[in-house]
Amino acid sequence: MPPTAAEDAAQAERPAAPFQTEDFRRARPQIVGPDEPESPFPIKLAGPVQKGFGRGGKDLGCPTANLPDDATEEMTNVAKTGVYYGYAQVLPPADKICEFKKEDLQVLPMVMSMGWNPFYDNSKLTAEIHIMHPFVRDFYGFEMRAIVLGYIRPELNYTSREALIDDIETDKQVALRCLERSRYHKYEKDPHFELEKVLN
């Protein structure tokens, strides 16, 4: 069993991530994992969205929402670092809902990166969620709920920003294909989410 992210974080030295190789890039499968979520999934997360360094949106064209450490313990305690897929929903407070479009409040597909972002040499373990949707405004400080349903790939280091962007694009396509499977898709309607927000 590989160490969990929390076990890695307890070590004095941050674990070294391997570099992405051309062979890895070429051999990436279009769909990953079993036909239905297997233990430890589904993992349900919820918490207020925190500001990261902001490089995801600026450098990579892929904005991410960070969850606080205590909100991701359920994930870091049982899962290894890497890239995951699932669903997420943003739940703004009642007085801010009018600043969003109805589609922004739906349960939406997401990809999650949990690790040390070796490309940026971070010194702290983070869990960042990219929701695959063009939001009309930011949602820092607002509640986000997520259900993680499966693992896509290990966290890697990169020799260029373009190679990281390319892998993140592939992650998004893989996640969408994985979520089309009926036993994953049904989590879009899980009571962990506030489904009446989608209907009203």
Ligand X SMILES: Cc1cc2nc3c(=O)[nH]c(=O)nc-3n(C[C@H](O)[C@H](O)[C@H](O)COP(=O)(O)O)c2cc1C
Residue carrying structure tokens 């349900």: 44
Q: Which is nearer to ligand X, 104 or 155 (CB)?
A: 155
93, 113, 177 from 76: Cα distances, Å: 28, 11, 25
Residue 65 structure tokens: 């929402």
Among 1-9, 42-50, 115-123, 136-144, the segment contacting ligand X (CB under 6 A): 115-123
Q: Which is nearer to ligand X, 34 or 57 (CB)?
A: 57
Our finding on whether 155 is near ligand X (CB under 6 A) is yes
Q: Which is nearer to ligand X, 107 or 152 (CB)?
A: 152
The burial class, CB within 10 Å (0-12 / 13-18 / 19+), for 181 is middle
Q: Which is nearer to ligand X, 64 or 106 (CB)?
A: 64
Number of Cα atoms under 13 Å in the Cβ half of residue 41: 21
Residue 59 structure tokens: 């450098």
Our finding on whether 81 is near ligand X (CB under 6 A) is no
Our finding on whether 83 is near ligand X (CB under 6 A) is yes
Indicate which single residue of 49, 75, 111, 179 sits in contact with ligand X (rule: CB under 6 A).
Answer: 111
Count of H-run helices and E-run strands, the chain: 7, 6
Give the residue among 150, 132, 33 at the shortest CA–CA distance from 86.
150
Give catalytic residue positions: 128
Among 8-16, 55-63, 86-94, 141-149, the segment contacting ligand X (CB under 6 A): 55-63
Q: Nearest to ligand X by Cβ — which residue?
A: 52
Give the binding site for ligand X (CB under 6 A): 52-56, 62, 64, 83, 111, 113, 117-120, 128, 130, 155-156, 168, 171
